[in-house]
Structure 1
Amino acid sequence: MAASYVRVGRLCARLVACNRACSWQVLVLQPGSRFYGQDRGLREKLAGRLKVGSSALSFALVLGGTLGLYHTLKHYLQQEQHHAEQPYTKKSTADLSLTLYQYKTCPFCSKVRAFLDFHSLPYKIVEVNPVLRKELKFSSYRKVPILIGDDGEIVQINDSSVIISAVKTFLLSRHKNLTQVASYYPEMKSKDEKGKEVVEYNNKYWVMLEDQDEKQYYFTKEARKEEMKWRKWVDDWLVHLISPNVYRTPGEALASFDYIVREGKFGAFEGFFAKYFGAAAMFFVSKRLKSRHNLHDDVRQDLYKAADQWVAAIGKHRPFMGGDMPNLADLAVYGVLRVMEGLEAFNDMMANTKIKAWYQRVEEDIKKGQDVEQ
């Protein structure tokens, strides 16, 4: 609305300036103008009448300009209000084809699936072999998830948070295709302290919307900031609690890799190797991760604290951080935690924190989206 007032102010200024210019031209006799005739009295009478006529004409023009300005502004504001009150119509995705390259047990891939399922978007899955990764030979980007979108143009989108922001922007944007939207998230390459190339993305937590579309999705600026803050929290903190917890003990590590091998794309030899050697390796890796992220000796305490921190952020007066329905932060937290389902760490979290009710609400809403898709 503020933008509308600014535009109206500019329109007023232009119209007032126009009226002033017209009045000035009537009231002032132009240099070099002449009165014909020799009678001085006649000239004075004519000049007097012309002055009176000019004043009357000026008044009429000012009055007419003011009335015109009033009706122009009235029409402008009615159009603005009509535009703002137009209901948002969901963009058709009938011609949109999506393919997700993933590891099923990857938390970043899981949060992308949670987002796509919640929004009832059909997509194909290509399960990537975590050892050979031959399914990714087409790409110089060798990580998962990767999303290939085709809505008339084919575009590759990397990074889970970029995928979610870009597809959400596409769904809410009225006039942009997926390729155009993906260009809003440019890739930035740099090197870390060890000289290893690091790829990051500008604007990865921003849903890029025009003013009218933003108001349809975010009711306040604070809601948008809150969603971005907690999406970043998921990537910077929550996801790093998964490995130390699911590989906490040798027994838990073995159970985790049994699940990974069962759900992933492994050959017979690869599966055997991954289950036993991978479990042993990740048990020790989890100890390094615990040290890197300054976790407690009992890493469950960090997981419990994070779960309760999330529930406290939602509060008691709304079912989701998004209000009556999950927003992108809700879906990200749910997607990351979901990869622990069936494991000891997940059961402990449900029993020792307040997150269970929220988790089940999100699960039910995502299932509704999947039912619509089917």
Structure 2
Amino acid sequence: MAAACVRLISKVSRLVHEKPSCITNKAAAFAISASLRRPGRTYGTGREGFREGLSFLLGGRGLGCAFVLGGGFGLYQISNFAIKWHLADAATAPGLETDFKLMLYQYKTCPFCSKVRVFLDYHRIPYEIVEVNPVMRQEIKWSAYKKVPILMVNGTVQLNDSSVIISALMTYLISKDMTIPQILACYPEIKAKNESGKDVTEFGNKYWVMVNDAHCEQLYPEKDSRNEEIKWRKWADDWLVHLISPNVYRTLGEALASFDYIVHEGKFGRFEGFFAKYVGAAAMWIISKKLRNKHNLQEDVRQDLYKAVNDWVAAVGKKKKFMGGESPNLADLAVFGVLRVMEGLQAFNDMMENTKVKHWYGRMEKTLLHNCSPAE
């Protein structure tokens, strides 16, 4: 939560939630959706909601500066991991050459970044992590694309947008006759304006794995399994992520508990810790109310979370371990990546106790743990 909250506190949020734009298959030409409605990102990173909440909370410029310095700089200390190697066994990465190096630029608690990490971990693909400073963003200053996640391949090829990253890498793992640059051409970048008149970047076909008919039958053996995977990947981006912030910061007590954890883990000084916990928590509590209204959630936002999670479990069904059958598919990985960012918080505990997701979630945890373990 630290990185996303700092992005709000710093008033430099430029993240726009990922909205699906088009679909494609071998039998049909690429179709670019005209709809570019782009709701703000989760964890309070929507610009409109933050500005309204911040204006209401702060009022004065002086307190605003203290808010940025105390909350922003302080919170960054916990998320600043610089560069670290992810513990994955390169020798067991399926289909990747030993010199295939990936570097993920991220915010640790961003649901979209979590989705990418889950995918990479599941497929045992080794990667490095660069934790981006959400205030200064110096780590991605070199990039014209200013949102995270960003994935660099061998230091030369840049992949943007979590769903594009996942679809492109999955295509690469299956289709050995295509290079990453060739695959990226299947996901054209589209510049447009959203409903608010803001410039946005969209990507065509981003939920599609570009495989031929033979590979498609192997990857999607059941009828409509491909369409179901696409449907629920889009659902995770378009709906599920919007339930996170309103639930994590549902009450002032929950917001304080979340920031108390951040401050404790970050070992802040007294001044920084005060602003990180109390001012940051108050701001996020107010913003969560704005997000609740924006997305037409119920007064008790837990009910929306419970319904969404139970809808997902019902879609998986009782006869399958995962939506992908015996093994998780891309929809399983996406939903797990989004929900995982709530772990350790009251919202997560309530979700596990009041929905039917526990068994599926447990199976996902075991599968990820097994895949992340060093090969024998």
TM-score (norm 1): 0.72
Tell me if the contact between 1:103 and 1:264 (Cα under 8 Å) persists in the aligned partners. Answer: no
What is aligned with 2:209?
A: 207
Residues 102, 125 of structure 1: 8 Å contact kept:
yes
Aligned partners of 1:198, 1:262: CA distance in 2, in Å? Answer: 37
Matched position secondary structure for 2:197: coil
After TM superposition, list the pairs within 5 Å mapping 1:75-94 onto structure 2.
90-94=94-98
Distance 1:333 1:308 in 2: 12
Q: Is the 8 A contact 1:105 1:260 kept in 2?
A: no
Q: What is the rounded CA distance, in whole Å, between the counterparts of 2:226 and 2:119 in structure 1?
A: 17
Matched, 1:127 2:131: yes
Give the counterpart letter for 1:363 in structure 2. Answer: E
Structure 2 partner of 1:243: 245
SS of the aligned residue for 2:224 comes to helix
Q: Which residue of 2 aligns with 1:328?
A: 330
Partner of 1:86: none
Distance 1:201 1:258, change over 3 A: farther
TM-score, normalised via structure 2 length: 0.71
Separation in 1, partners of 2:251, 2:321: 35
> What secondary structure is seen at the aligned counterpart in 1 of 2:373?
helix
Q: Distance in 2 between matches of 1:352 and 1:342?
A: 16
Check conservation: 2:342, 2:348, Cα contact below 8 A: yes
What CA distance in whole angstroms lies between the structure 2 residues aligned with 1:368 and 1:315? 23
For 2:230 and 2:194, how far apart are their aligned partners in 1? 25
Task: Extract unaligned runs of 5+ from structure 2.
Answer: 1-25, 27-92
Give the letter aligned to residue 147 of structure 1. Answer: L
Q: What residue is the counterpart of 1:137 in the other structure?
A: 141
Checking the alignment, whether the CA contact within 8 Å between 1:304 and 1:349 is kept in structure 2 is yes
Identity of aligned pairs, percent? 64
Structure-2 change in CA distance of 1:262 and 1:217 (3 Å): farther
Cα pair 1:129 1:264 within 8 Å, conserved: no
Cα distance, 1:266 vs structure 2:
9.1
* Aligned counterparts, 1:213-228, within 5 A: 213-228=215-230
CA contact (8 A) 1:104 1:264 kept: no
Quick check: 1:98–1:124 contact (8 Å CA) kept in 2? Answer: yes
Partner residue of 1:279 out of 275, 278, 281 = 281
Q: Secondary structure at the match of 2:191?
A: strand
Query: 1:176 Cα deviation (Å)?
Result: 1.1
In 2, Cα distance between equivalents of 1:373 and 1:199: 40
Structure with greater helix percent: 1
Shift of 1:91: 2.1
Q: CA deviation at 1:276?
A: 2.8
8 Å contact kept, 2:106–2:150: yes
Q: Please name the residue that 2:113 is paired with.
A: 109
Change (3 A) 1:142 1:264: farther
| Residue 148 (str. 1) matches residue 152 (str. 2) | yes
One-letter amino acid matched to 2:103: T
Alignment correspondent of 1:159: 161
Q: Which residue of 1 aligns with 2:184?
A: 182
Q: Give the C-alpha shift of residue 184 in structure 1.
A: 1.3
Q: Supply the AA of the counterpart residue of 2:248.
A: V
Match for 1:192 among 191, 194, 208?
194
Return the letter of the residue paired with 2:141: K
Supply the AA of the counterpart residue of 1:98. L
Flag the structure with more relative contact order, 1 or 2, with Cα contacts below 8 A and sequence separation at least 6: 2
- Structure 1 residues 133, 258: closer, same or farther in 2, change over 3 A? farther
Q: Per-residue CA shift, 1:256-294, capped at 9, x if unaligned?
A: 234456678999976654433222111111111101111
Distance 1:192 1:267, change over 3 A: farther
| Letter paired with 1:183 | A
* Aligned pairs for 1:305-324 within 5 A: 305-324=307-326
Shift of 1:90: 4.9
Give the distance between the partners of 1:127 and 1:262, measured in 2 at CA: 19
Aligned residues: 285
Deviation at 1:190, TM superposition (A): 0.7
The 3-state SS of whatever aligns with 2:298 is coil
CA distance in structure 1 between the aligned counterparts of 2:265 and 2:227, rounded to whole angstroms: 36
Query: Deviations 1:84-142 (Å, cap 9, x if unpaired)?
Result: xxxxx952332211111111111111111111000000000001112221111011211
Question: Is 1:357 aligned to residue 359 of structure 2?
Answer: yes
- Counterpart among 252, 255, 267 of residue 254 in structure 2: 252
Map of 1:98 onto structure 2:
102
Task: Provide the residue aligned with 2:122 in structure 1.
Answer: 118
Provide the rounded CA distance (Å) in 1 between the counterparts of 2:108 and 2:325: 29
Indicate if the aligned counterparts of 1:261 and 1:271 stay in contact, CA closer than 8 A.
Answer: yes
Other structure's SS at 1:176 match: coil
> Is 2:94–2:124's contact at 8 Å kept on the other side of the alignment?
no
Q: The residue matched to 2:246 in structure 1 has which SS? A: helix
| Shift in Å, 1:232 | 0.3
Cα distance in 2 between the residues matched to 1:182 and 1:371: 30
Helix, strand or coil: the match of 1:255?
helix
User: Is the contact made by 1:99 and 1:126 (CA closer than 8 Å) also made in structure 2?
Assistant: yes
1:171 aligns with 2:189: no
| Alpha carbons 1:120, 1:373 under 8 Å: kept | no
CA contact (8 A) 2:94 2:123 kept: no
